[in-house]
Amino acid sequence: MSERVPAEAFPPGEYLKDELDERGWTQEEFASIIGRPPAVVNQIISGKRGVSPETAREIGAALGTSAIYWMNLEAAYRLWKVGPAPTRISHSARVREHFPVREMIKRGWIEPSENPEVVEQRVLQFFDISSIDETPKLAHAAKRTGYPEDISGAQRAWLFRVKQVAKALRVRPYSEKALRDAVPPLQALLRSPEGIAGIPKLLAACGVRFVIVEPVPGSKIDGVCFWLAAGRPSPVIGMSLRLDRIDNFWFVLRHEIEHVMNGDGKEEAIVDQDVLGPDAGQRALEETRANAAASDFCVPAAEMADFVSRNRPLFGKHRVLNFAERMNVHPGLVVGQLQRRTQNYKLFRTLLVSIRSIIVAVAVTDGYGYRVQV
């Protein structure tokens, strides 16, 4: 909200002089009333001395006004004398209000500077915008904003870092057929955590830009699917690995692959937040479709439903291990599906093994101890 600044303000002493003239009091007489030396009253009236809280209280008591009234006159006069704050301060504050500037500098996404105006320009350049009032566009042919309107600054920064890193990759032209043909080989990697290491090569062979970017604190994004216009549309899958669990990784990856195969994200980036959350079944059609494909990929839906119906409510660990062996998947994927179906997220948590160290060592990764120079 803009601040209303008076064209001119006067020292409180001028208002005090008017009050004394109206009453017919001399400065010496008023000084006697409030118990102050005449020189103090004279200096206030001549504007050589400000009104202190103590003096404001005494003047207010003598004239039947409040002390706040005189303090407000003093404050207004002092602010008018110093003038408005430099425009650069409000600009710098707005930039930091919109975007996580400190984190972007810390992560090396923009260069630091002692000059706030230089920092602002680097932030605008990062988002490829000319003004803080401009909405950054993520998708190459975005008809709308390029992502949901309520997205946070932390999420925007993460998304644009994914875009920045993905644009620097050299990939072959995208082939939908190749990606669909790659799904069975991907499924063959589900048995052990180490199988995850084969993912980047498989996706690259299909023309998919696969990027991992450590999430900005508070961003809460699992993944994103969007397309770059590099001669011909080129799909990008970005993942945050914010939940370092084997079930979450495979679910999010297959979820994003489904978006790519269906051509989702060409006009508006598909930003996936908490894809395994409790409201996963109450989302848009493309999200429901991607969730269904991801669930069936991790553990066939019919088999999972049968396992739950036969074993509810007593799910023994040995039964989970035997079922996972029969499905030829890691037990953590069964546990992930089981937790979602029962809404009991404490079930067999020790089987949800970590995979982050495996994938960041082979994928293009920015964060988690790695830094991409773009």
Specify whether the CB–CB gap between 249 and 275 falls below 8 A. no
In a domain, 236, yes or no: yes
**pLDDT for the residue 104:** 95
Domain span at residue 29 reads 12-82
**pLDDT for the residue 140:** 44
| pLDDT at 216 > cutoff 50 | yes
Residues 194-210: pLDDT tens digits? 999 999 999 999 999 99
C-alpha pair distances (Å), 349 with each of 49, 206, 352: 71, 34, 5
Residues 228 and 341 in one domain: yes
Residues 165 and 310 in one domain: yes
| pLDDT at 126 > cutoff 70 | yes
Residues 41-84: pLDDT tens digits? 999 999 999 999 999 999 999 999 999 999 999 999 998 888 88
Residues 23 and 107 in one domain: no
In a domain, 271, yes or no: yes
C-alpha to C-alpha distance for 359 and 166, rounded to whole angstroms: 17
Residues 223 and 260 in one domain: yes
Residues 71 and 102 in one domain: no
Residues 172-183: pLDDT tens digits? 999 999 999 999
C-alpha to C-alpha distance for 323 and 13, rounded to whole angstroms: 88
In a domain, 139, yes or no: no
**pLDDT for the residue 85:** 75
- Among the listed ranges 184-193, 224-233, 314-323, which one has the minimum average pLDDT value? 224-233
**pLDDT for the residue 281:** 46
Cα torsion angle, 280, 136, 131, 102, sign: positive
Alpha helices, H only, the chain: 12-23, 27-34, 38-45, 53-63, 67-82, 87-98, 101-106, 116-126, 153-167, 176-187, 199-205, 246-261, 285-298, 301-311, 317-327, 331-342, 356-360
User: What average pLDDT does range 241-247 have in this prediction?
Assistant: 95
Residues 166 and 267 in one domain: yes
In a domain, 233, yes or no: yes
- Among the listed ranges 91-95, 193-197, 220-224, which one has the minimum average pLDDT value? 91-95
Residues 93 and 160 in one domain: no
| pLDDT at 108 > cutoff 90 | yes
Work out the pLDDT band at 1, boundaries 50, 70, 90: very low
In a domain, 18, yes or no: yes
Residues 96 and 78 in one domain: no
C-alpha to C-alpha distance for 141 and 267, rounded to whole angstroms: 5
Work out the pLDDT band at 229, boundaries 50, 70, 90: confident
- Among the listed ranges 103-107, 219-223, 238-242, 325-329, which one has the minimum average pLDDT value? 219-223
Q: Whose CA is closest to 274, among 340, 208, 197? A: 340
Q: Whose CA is closest to 348, among 372, 370, 316, 322? A: 316
**pLDDT for the residue 271:** 81
In a domain, 138, yes or no: no
Residues 113 and 178 in one domain: no
Residues 278 and 176 in one domain: yes
C-alpha to C-alpha distance for 237 and 260, rounded to whole angstroms: 8
How many folded domains does the chain comprise?
3
Work out the pLDDT band at 227, boundaries 50, 70, 90: very high
Q: What is the DSSP letter of 281?
A: G
Residues 107 and 162 in one domain: no
**pLDDT for the residue 196:** 96
In a domain, 373, yes or no: no
In a domain, 341, yes or no: yes
Residues 119 and 215 in one domain: no
- Residue 125 has which token pair? 């350049």
Last residue of a domain, one of 82, 109, 138: 82
**pLDDT for the residue 277:** 55
Q: Whose CA is closest to 20, among 35, 8, 31? A: 31
| pLDDT at 366 > cutoff 90 | yes
Q: Whose CA is closest to 238, among 208, 210, 199, 268? A: 210
| pLDDT at 6 > cutoff 80 | no
Whether pTM exceeds 0.95: no
